[in-house]
Amino acid sequence: MSALFEPITLRSLTVPNRLWMAPMCQYSAAPDGPAEGAPGDWHFQHLAARAAGGTGLILAEATAVSPEGRISPYDLGLWNDTQTEAFRRITDFLKAQGTVPGIQIAHAGRKGSTERPWVNRGAPVLPGQRHGWEPVAPSPVPFDDGFTTPAELSVAQIRELVAQFGASARRALAAGFQVVEIHGAHGYLINEFLSPFTNRRTDEYGGSYENRTRFALEVVDAVRAVWPDELPVFFRISATDWLTEDESDAREGWTADDTVRFARDLREHGIDLLDTSSGGNAPDAKIATGPGYQVPFAERVKKESGLAVGAVGLITEARQAEKIIADGQADAVLLGRELLRSPSFAQHAARELGAEVTLPQQYHRAV
């Protein structure tokens, strides 16, 4: 029996296998007009192909809770009825293939208002330029050279953002999603609040660990309040900013110890799985990459907090993914680039591991 192709049940939802698709921005939504931020044909084929390929759970890309919450003007959003309705075509198809549809809801914070990655290397789009806006953050600290200094959020604005996350989660449910993931990683808004590297506030949302985690936990509570008890909520985190791992770097950042502590808090607030990534908050951090380089963070969280975890990071081979699950390092693996290269990776992995995976009838001749 293959551990990778064993079902997993979270709350009342059973996912058919442990091989899942991580959220990957496509930067392919309309930037304005009646279909602004809504998924189209590109998003349908992108997600549908991986479902037909046997992926157990698919998380749609970082989807903004407000227009200003996008990374680029070409990002998906979930702040109006047109967007909600457009997602139903996708969720209906994924369910028909036996795949669980999930969505990541997000706010880009100080990393917002940029070009698509393949246009001028994702350079900032400045306020006043076409499709540009003023980004916001916990503190007025720009992401990198050339980026706009973000406006510091007021307490009233923070509370409005919490409400926007709750509203987007409600729309995600109406759109047919069965999992919602809160994006708290990669230097985007929630991560910016968590880390002392980017959070320089002196009010109730800054300073101490308890204050820096307040916004994230308020978002979790707002989402959990509108999400059915029988369905799971995930949280994606950067387990470390990769600052304190470098002894030559004196900057203070979010650490793996913080992540373990926070995982316990998230569990108390109703989070069912921690999608464990790293980095993205300090553009010049030194990150030691390699096959499965982020798996140890997930393993530690699982062992020390008791929270279910997903592992990510250069997982590219079936037997590598199988070992992660079989050895108890994680409860699921989330693939990114490998699923871009091979939409039917799950089918190939099942064949290699001697397991079974649900295939569309149209593809049975390939078995």
Residue 29's SS3 state is coil
Is 202 exposed, middle or buried (CB count within 10 Å of its CB: 0-12, 13-18, 19+)? Answer: exposed
Residue 206's SS3 state is coil
The alpha carbon of residue 45 and the mean position of all alpha carbons in its chain are separated, in whole angstroms, by 20
Cβ atoms of 64 and 108 closer than 8 Å: yes
Considering only CA atoms, which of 139, 165, 164, 166 is closest in space to residue 154? 139
Q: What angle do CA 305, 217, 299 make, to 5 degrees?
A: 25
**From CA 4, how far away is CA 311, in angstroms rounded?**
12
Catalytic option among 188, 209, 293, 363: 188
Residue 131: both structure tokens together: 């499709």
Tell me, yes or no, if 188 is annotated catalytic: yes
- To the nearest 10°, report the CA torsion of 252, 253, 256, 258: 90
**From CA 355, how far away is CA 347, in angstroms rounded?**
9
Beta bridge partners of 181: 104, 234
- Catalytic residue ranges: 188
